[in-house]
Amino acid sequence: MAFGMGGGTGRARYHRALADINITPLVDVVLVLLIIFMLTAPILQSGIEVAVPKTKTVKEITEERLVITIDRQQRVYLGNDPVNLNEIGAKLRQKIRDPRNQSIFLRSDEEVPFGAFASVMDAVKQAGISNVSIVTQPLDTHGGKR
């Protein structure tokens, strides 16, 4: 695109076209994608199928934390890796620098007996971690199950 300006001699002077690339739309798209990935990354706990209990109050996951999962067959996982119940404390101490300030999530299938849940909770407490959040799903407010 050229812009012309009328001169005193009747000839128009032409300026060079602006060849700069406008990166504003690119930055907008990248920021939107970044926000989407930041919101969906904590939710994407793949590989282990667990039907967590439903409650009225649910705290959203806002930061990256370690997740301990107990599946329907009472197998225990640290992240996506299976772990022996007796080794949870040692594995947590390896992964955590400061147990007093570290918090973790505990996911358990709703069919798991309370005794198995309490055993895992006890192992976590013995590792020095006192901030444990229990993962649940929100209740369906329309009266039916999801």
pLDDT for 33 equals 93
Q: Are 142 and 105 in contact (CB under 8 A)?
A: no
Contacts of 100 (CB under 8 A, 6+ apart): 128, 130
* Residue 66 β-bridge partners: 104
Domain ranges of the chain: 4-40, 54-138
User: Letter for the amino acid at 127?
Assistant: A
Q: Are 98 and 66 in contact (CB under 8 A)?
A: no
For residue 121, how many other CB atoms are within 10 A of its CB? 17
How far does CA 89 lie from the centroid of its chain? 23
CA distances (Å), origin 12, targets 3, 9, 19, 99, 115: 9, 8, 21, 75, 89
- Domain topology for 54-138: Nucleotidyltransferase; domain 5 (3.30.420)
pLDDT for 34 equals 92
pLDDT for 146 equals 43
CA distances (Å), origin 135, targets 35, 63, 101, 127, 138: 23, 14, 19, 20, 10
User: What is the mean pLDDT for each group of 10 consecutive residues in the chain (146 residues)?
Assistant: 52 64 89 88 61 61 72 88 87 79 83 88 86 75 51
